[in-house]
């Protein structure tokens, strides 16, 4: 059975005619060609497919696309629409928060969603959050440092903005 649905991904609306058994990650990759989101385990353990659903990090392999009709989906492609690394990606690069890169899109979207909700996390809190996604290369330390550094930079930029608006 084919189902018609409309999905909003990275601010763009897409009309789709797909089988209801298509998970969100399969729709992103196969129907929309957004291959930045990776598929790992397909049962919610590895976190490679993490995307944002209405701003919250979620496993795209554990959601049927039909369920998120009407929601705002964001994938790793949204971080750098112009092709330039955003601040979070820059931090991952500077801190060597990736090696093979397979887990990176999931890690980035996890961090993006988490920092938006919790701009001042402790290192321990970051460690606990990234434990949800598997990385077999880095040993996590550099990922934690990258996210921590990005959070600091965003806070500093925010303070600067506040100071600027007071003048």
Distance CA 85, CA 75 (A): 14
d(CA 142, CA 29): 28
Closest to another protein by CB, 28 or 61: 61
Alpha-helical regions (H) of 29-140:
87-94, 104-117, 123-130
Q: Which is nearer to another protein, 35 or 85 (CB)?
A: 35
CA 103 distance to own-chain centroid = 11
- Distance in Å, CB of 90 to another protein, minimum: 23
Indicate the residue among 31 and 42 with the shorter CB distance to another protein.
42
User: Smallest gap, in angstroms, from Cβ of residue 17 to another protein?
Assistant: 13
d(CA 43, CA 105): 17
**And the tokens for 162?**
């506040």
Q: How far apart are CA 80 and CA 95, in angstroms?
A: 18
In the complex, minimum distance from the CB of residue 106 to another protein, in angstroms, rounded to a whole number: 9
- Tokens encoding 84: 């330039």
State the minimum distance, in angstroms, from the CB of residue 162 to another protein.
Answer: 25
C-beta of 1 vs 167, nearer to another protein = 1
* Contact residues: another protein, CB under 8 A: 1, 3, 19-21, 23, 26, 42-44, 47, 50, 53, 56-59, 61-64, 66-67, 70, 110, 114, 128-129, 131-132
């Amino acid at each position: 059975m084919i189902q018609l649905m409309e999905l909003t991904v990275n601010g763009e609306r897409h009309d789709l005619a797909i089988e209801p058994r298509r998970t969100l990650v399969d729709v992103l990759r196969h129907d929309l060609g957004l291959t930045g989101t990776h598929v790992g385990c397909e049962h919610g353990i590895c976190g490679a497919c993490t995307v944002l659903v209405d701003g919250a990090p979620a496993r795209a392999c554990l959601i049927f696309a039909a369920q998120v009709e009407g929601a705002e989906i964001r994938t790793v492609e949204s971080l750098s629409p112009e092709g330039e690394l955003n601040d979070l990606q820059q931090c991952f690069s500077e801190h060597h928060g990736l090696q093979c890169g397979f887990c990176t899109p999931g890690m980035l979207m996890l961090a993006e969603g988490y920092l938006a909700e919790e701009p001042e996390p402790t290192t321990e809190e970051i460690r606990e959050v990234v434990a949800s996604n598997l990385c077999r290369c880095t040993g996590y330390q550099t990922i934690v440092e990258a996210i921590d550094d990005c959070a600091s930079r965003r806070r500093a930029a925010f303070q600067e903005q506040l100071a600027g608006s007071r003048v």
